[in-house]
Structure 1
Amino acid sequence: MRASLIQIAVDPHESVDSRRRRAAALVREQAGADLVVLPELWPVGAFAFEAFAEEAEAVDGPTFEAMAKAAGDAEVWLHAGSIVERDADGAFYNTSLVFSPAGELVRTYRKIHRFGFDRGEATLMSAGEELVTVPLSGEGRETVLGLATCYDLRFPELFRGLVDAGARLLVVPAGWPERRRAHWTLLAQARAVENQSYVLACATAGTHAGVEQSGHSIVVDPWGEVLAEAGADEEILTVDLDLSRVERTREQFPALKDRRLGLEPPPHR
């Protein structure tokens, strides 16, 4: 499987409409890939909180329209990163969109863990409540994506749930700050090692509302080896993945079989 991660830069001087058109063009350029991934909240910027309400859109809004067309034109599976979704009841969600090579929306994922503690996304967004996987097929290749977003990367139990649901590739779009870039790399490798799965972590470049972004999108194999890593600027990272490596790793080092679930916590003393 060939995967392309589009580490798009978010420039506050570029309009959202212009960035949508540019992202769609970049997706079309990846024709020949099997899977294309965009980062978290790339239309508006992950830290541009003051713009969330103005730029919020329905799942079938302008980003959906642009990305559906681009996926169909390129004939790729497209994880189109995430948008600020405005639900019918007015609530906001950080929602990922996944399209088939026919340009059909096949899955959405509402981010479960919202970042910010008592401010920002944590107060402006509602939390998702469902783990989401996506079965991919084409040209004899079959695998399952597990979906997570940015801050989710810090919560290993979410990824265990995705693996239990059949995930072999864990896809993590993000708007990750440069000041915590060491955590980004460390956690991406940890999630790959502990789940014996590929991790495709696609970050933004540029600066969102004064917050410098990490860039350094990364692809990690099931043994924890870094197959490719981007720099700090806008870049497209393309990697060929050997899907059989997941099963080989799990057979050769069957740690997942030794999990012990349902242990009782110790009594309070």
Structure 2
Amino acid sequence: MNPKIALIQMSSIFAEPEKNFSHAIELMDEAMAQKPDILVLPETFNTGFFPTDNLEELADKEGQTTKKLFSEYAKKHSVNIVAGSVTTLKNNKVFNTAYIFDKHGKLVAEYDKIHGFTPSGEHNYYQGGNKLVTFNLAGMKCGIIICYDIRFCELVRSLALKGIELLFIPAHWPLIRKNHWINLATTRAIENQMYVCAVNACSKAGDTIFGGNSLLINPCGEEICHLDEAEEVQFGTVDLSIIKDIRESINVFRDRKPSLYEL
């Protein structure tokens, strides 16, 4: 089986969670016409990135809305969902949280973004996570990071060493740094010999335009999907035999010398 992934490049309305949840469902319904195995949304699609005023009031309390909405949708449509990430309030602290559901509606993973984007002050408003997360989805071992996390190669390599075959990266990445986004996602795929599914928002917040250019990249660094800058849905399939072939022909994991690395 070669799982089919729907990259849902969504535009969120700043600080309007109810409208954004509804719009996410509309786009998911559109995607389901092509019968994908996995639906993937961008970062903080419920609030946009990121309201600094009354953030606690806008956040999804304990992820209740996200869990109910996407668990029911996954079960009803028999589809796996990487629900991007949402602004959540957990134990009276705000987190940037990704929830992942299997096709039976079971919550199989929960990841809190580790690295807050300090240039915009994200770390002052969101608590940072402290756990790496892997999970199985559609017959693949997967991992997830969120947006700014992509700049930390040690984090991604740590996930690769746990044996992941597909890395999800929901993001709210600005258009002005589009080249960084594309090059980092491609590099993470090549250096770790895995698939990367990087789904970016295409919203606007103040003067900041978030740049789309969502990507599905194979372990050779080849683009299976490369979306434009506007809201859209595209599809790509994952062939795990490519991972096996490249890891056997260029075995970087075998040839590593971690005793020499100072990190």
- CA deviation map 1:84-139 (0-9, x unaligned): 12112x1111110001111121110001111024x5211111111110011124xx
Match of 1:134 in 2: 135
Match of 1:152 in 2: 149
90, 93, 101: which is aligned to 1:91?
Answer: 93
Contact 2:13 2:19 in 1 (8 A): no
| 1:51 Cα deviation from its structure 2 partner | 4.8
Match of 1:196 in 2: 193
Read off the aligned partner of 2:243 and give its amino acid letter: V
Matches within 5 A, 1:106-121: 106-117=108-119, 120-121=121-122
* 2:238 paired with 1:241: yes
52, 69, 73: which is aligned to 2:72?
Answer: 69
Matches within 5 A, 1:48-67: 48-67=51-70
Distance 2:222 2:114 in 1: 27
Q: What's the % identity of the aligned pairs? A: 33
Read off the aligned partner of 2:246 and give its amino acid letter: T
| 1:37 Cα deviation from its structure 2 partner | 0.5
206, 212, 222: which is aligned to 1:209?
Answer: 206
Distance 1:195 1:202 in 2: 19
39, 44, 49: which is aligned to 1:46?
Answer: 49
Comparing 43-52 and 189-198, the one that deviates more:
43-52
Q: Normalising by the residue count of structure 2, what TM-score does the alignment of the two structures yield?
A: 0.93
Distance 1:146 1:249 in 2: 19
Match of 1:6 in 2: 8
Contact 1:48 1:209 in 2 (8 A): no
Report the secondary structure of 1:131's partner residue: coil
Instruction: From the superposition, tell whether residues 123 and 156 of structure 1 become closer, same or farther in structure 2 (CA, over 3 Å).
Output: same
Instruction: From the superposition, tell whether residues 73 and 94 of structure 1 become closer, same or farther in structure 2 (CA, over 3 Å).
Output: same
Match of 1:104 in 2: 106
Gaps of 5+ in 1: none
Q: Normalising by the residue count of structure 1, what TM-score does the alignment of the two structures yield?
A: 0.91
Report the secondary structure of 1:6's partner residue: strand
Distance 2:62 2:104 in 1: 18
Contact 1:57 1:84 in 2 (8 A): yes
- Size of the alignment, in residue pairs? 258
